[in-house]
Structure 1
Amino acid sequence: MSPATLDSRLDGVVGGRTASALEKAFEMRTVRDLLWHLPRRYSNRGELTPLLGLPIGEHVTVLAQVLDVRERRMQRRNGKLLEVRITDGIGTLQLTFFNQAWRANDLRAGARGIFAGKVSEYRGQLQLQHPDYELFDRNDETVGGETIGELQKEELDQAAARAFAERPVPIYPATARLPSWSIQKAVELALDALDAVEDPLPREIRDAEDVIPLAQALERVHRPERDDEWRRARDSLRFREAFELQLALLDRRRQLGLAAGTPRPRVDGGLLDAFDAGLPFELTAGQREAAAAISAELAEPHPMHRLLQGEVGSGKTVVALRAMLQVAEAPVAGPAGDGGGQSALLAPTEVLAAQHFRSITEALRAESASTEALRAESASTEALRAEPASTEHSADDAPGHDLLDRVRPVLLTSKMPVAERRRALLEIASGSARIVVGTHALLSEGVSFYDLGLIVVDEQHRFGVEQREALRLKGAEPHVLAMTATPIPRTVALTAFGDLETSVIRELPAGRRGIETFAVPVLEKPAWAERAWRRATEEVAAGRQVYVVCPAIADNTREEGDEDPAVGSESGEPGESGAAAARPLASVEQTLAELRARPDYAGVGVGALTGAMRPEEKAAVMRAFAAGELDVLVATTVIEVGVNVPNASTMIVRDADRFGISQLHQLRGRVGRGEHPGLCLLLTTAEPGTVARERIEAVAATSDGFELAERDLELRREGDILGTAQSGGRSTLRLLRVAEHGELIEHAREVAAALLDRDPDLEGAPGLAEMLRREAEQRRLDNLAKS
Structure 2
Amino acid sequence: MGDAATSAEEWTALTRPLARLLGAKTASALEKLGLATVGDLLLHVPFRLAHRGELMGIERVMEGESVTVVGRVMNSTLRPMNARRGFILTITISDGNHDLSLTFFAKSSRPLKFHESRLAPGTVAVFSGTISSYRGQLQLNHPDYELLENEDEVNAQEITKPIPIYHASASLPSWKIAKAVEVILPQISEANVPDPLPASYRTEHHLPSKFAALRALHAPQTDAEWEAALERMRHEEAFVLQSVLATRRATALAVAAPAMERTDVGALATFDSCLPWPLTDGQREVGEEIAADLATTLPMRRLLQGDVGAGKTVVALRAMLQAVDSGRQAVLLAPTEVLASQHLETLRALLGDLATGGQLMAPEHAVQLEYLVGSLGAKERRQALANIASGAAGIVVGTHALLQENVQIPFLGLVVVDEQHRFGVDQRDALSHGAHMLVMTATPIPRTIAMTSFGDLDVSTLRQLRAGRAGITTNLVPASKAAWMERVWQRAREEVDAGGRVFVVCPRISADDDADAPEPVAEDLFGADAPLASVEGTLAELAQNPALTGVGIGAVHGRMSAAEKDAAMASFSAGRAPVLVATTVIEVGVDVPDATMMVILDADRFGLAQLHQLRGRIGRGTKPGLCLAVHNSLPGTLAYERLEAFASTNDGFALANADLELRSEGDVLGAAQSGRGSTLRFLSVLRDARIIDTARESAMALVERDPRLVTEPALAAAVAATHADYIEKG
- In 2, the alpha carbon distance for the partners of 1:162 and 1:717 equals 39
- The 8 Å contact of residues 479 and 632 in structure 2, kept in 1 or not, is answered as yes
Distance 1:50 1:543 in 2: 73
Gap regions ≥5 residues in structure 2: 1-7, 55-70, 78-88, 96-105, 132-139
1:612-631 correspondence to structure 2 within 5 Å = 612-631=559-578
Do the aligned partners of 2:189 and 2:211 also contact (CA within 8 Å) in 1? no
Question: Paired residue for 1:509, among 462, 466, 481?
Answer: 466
Range with bigger deviation, 741-750 or 416-425: 741-750
Paired residue for 1:375?
none
Q: CA deviation at 1:311?
A: 0.3
Name 1:305's counterpart in structure 2: 301
The answer to whether residue 702 in structure 2 is matched with residue 746 in structure 1 is no
**2:345 is matched with which residue?**
358
Q: Tell me the equivalent position of 1:450.
A: 410
Does the aligned pair in 1 maintain the 2:417–2:439 contact within 8 Å?
yes
Alignment equivalent of 1:496, drawn from 431, 453, 458: 453
Q: In the TM superposition, what is the alpha-carbon distance from 1:772 to its structure 2 partner?
A: 3.4
Residue 221 in structure 1 maps to residue 217 in structure 2: yes
Specify the SS of the correspondent of 1:739: coil
Following superposition, the deviation at residue 592 of structure 1 comes to 2.3
Moved more, 184-193 or 197-206: 197-206
Q: Match of 2:592?
A: 645
Closer, same or farther in 2 for the Cα pair 1:567/1:412, shift >3 Å?
farther
Task: Give matches, 1:688-767, under 5 Å.
Answer: 688-722=635-669, 731-753=678-700, 759=705, 766-767=711-712
**Residue equivalent to 1:416:** 376
> Which runs of structure 2 are paired with 1:98-497 in the superposition (5 Å)?
116-118=126-128, 129-133=143-147, 158-160=152-154, 166-175=160-169, 179-197=173-191, 199-202=195-198, 205-330=201-326, 340-367=327-354, 401-403=364-366, 407-466=367-426, 468-469=427-428, 472-474=429-431, 476-497=433-454
CA contact (8 A) 1:516 1:679 kept: yes
Per the TM alignment, residue 586 of structure 1 is displaced from its structure 2 partner at its CA by: 1.5
- Give the whole-Å Cα distance in 2 for the aligned partners of 1:184 and 1:684: 45
Amino acid at match of 1:53: S
Pick aligned residue for 1:533 from 489, 511, 515? 489
Deviations 1:715-764 (A, max 9, x none): 1112123266788876321112222223332344345456667x55698x
CA distance in 1, matches of 2:703, 2:126: 49
Query: Residue 281 of structure 1: SS of its match in structure 2?
Result: coil
Indicate the residue corresponding to 1:53 in structure 2: 76
Contact in 2 for aligned 1:83/1:94 (Cα 8 Å): no
Deviations 1:467-486 (A, max 9, x none): x25xx435642322211111
8 Å CA contact 2:478, 2:632 repeated in 1: yes
Give the match's secondary structure for 1:53.
strand
Superposition deviation, residue 584 in structure 1: 0.6
Cα distance in 2 for residues equivalent to 1:157 and 1:44: 12
> Relative to structure 1, is the Cα distance of residues 397 and 260 closer, same or farther in structure 2, using a 3 angstrom cutoff?
farther
**CA shift at 1:623, angstroms?**
1.1
Give the root-mean-square deviation of aligned CA atoms: 3.9
1:585 CA displacement:
0.9
Query: Contact (CA 8 Å) 1:57, 1:118: kept in 2 or not?
Result: no
The corresponding residue for 2:99 is none
Structure 1 residues 578, 629: closer, same or farther in 2, change over 3 A? Answer: closer
**1:714/1:724 CA distance change after superposition, 3 Å:** closer
Q: Give me the whole-angstrom Cα distance separating, in 2, the residues matched to 1:358 and 1:587.
A: 28
Contact in 2 for aligned 1:647/1:673 (Cα 8 Å): yes
Q: Is the 8 A contact 1:610 1:635 kept in 2?
A: yes
In the alignment, which of 715, 723, 730 is matched to residue 779 of structure 1?
Answer: 723
Separation of aligned partners in 1, 2:392 and 2:708: 46
Q: Aligned pair 1:40/2:50, yes or no?
A: no
Uncovered stretches (5+) of structure 1, i.e. residues with no partner: 62-73, 76-81, 96-112, 136-155, 331-339, 372-395, 569-574
Q: How far apart are 1:201 and its partner, in Å?
A: 3.8
> Aligned-pair distance for 1:13?
6.4
Counterpart contact for 1:248–1:772, Cα < 8 Å: no
Q: Which has the larger radius of gyration?
A: 1
Higher mean C-alpha deviation, range 692-701 or range 317-326: 317-326
The equivalent of 2:103 in structure 1 is: none
User: Does residue 1:660 correspond to 2:585, yes or no?
Assistant: no
Amino acid in structure 2 at the alignment position of 1:552: R
DSSP 3-state at the match of 1:308: strand
Give aligned pairs, total. Answer: 670
Shift of residue 697 of structure 1?
Answer: 0.9
Query: Measured at CA, do residues 659 and 177 of structure 1 come closer, stay the same or move farther in structure 2, by a change above 3 Å?
Result: same
In 1, Cα distance between equivalents of 2:331 and 2:298: 18
Output the amino acid matched with 1:192: P
**Offset, 1:601:** 1.9
Instruction: Choose from 574, 593, 604 the match for 2:551.
Output: 604
Q: Structure 1 CA distance, aligned partners of 2:153 and 2:643?
A: 55
Q: Which amino acid aligns with 2:443?
A: T
The Cα shift of 1:536 comes to 1.7
- 2:333 partner letter: L
Identity rate, percent: 45
Determine helix, strand or coil for the equivalent of 1:483: strand
> What do residues 59-99 of structure 1 show as CA deviations (whole Å, max 9, x unaligned)?
689xxxxxxxxxxxx99xxxxxx979869xxx61389xxxx
Give the superposition deviation at 1:651: 1.2
Work out the CA distance in 2 between the residues paired with 1:233 and 1:346: 44
Q: CA deviation at 1:192?
A: 1.2
Contact 1:365/1:402, CA 8 A, preserved across alignment: no
Q: Partner of 1:142 in structure 2?
A: none
The Cα shift of 1:315 comes to: 1.1
Partners in 2 of 1:92 and 1:265 — Cα distance? 86
Letter in 2 for 1:543: G
Once the 2 structures are TM-superposed, how far is the Cα of residue 134 of structure 1 from its aligned partner?
6.6
CA contact (8 A) 2:49 2:163 kept: yes
Aligned equivalents of 1:230 and 1:224: distance in 2?
6
**Residues 538 and 306 of structure 1, relative CA distance in 2, 3 Å threshold:** same
From the superposition, tell whether residues 180 and 490 of structure 1 become closer, same or farther in structure 2 (CA, over 3 Å). same
Give distance in 2, aligned partners of 1:462 and 1:612: 18
1:669 to 604, 616, 623: 616
| Cα distance, 1:285 vs structure 2 | 1.7
2: distance between equivalents of 1:13 and 1:582?
48
Aligned to 1:678: 625
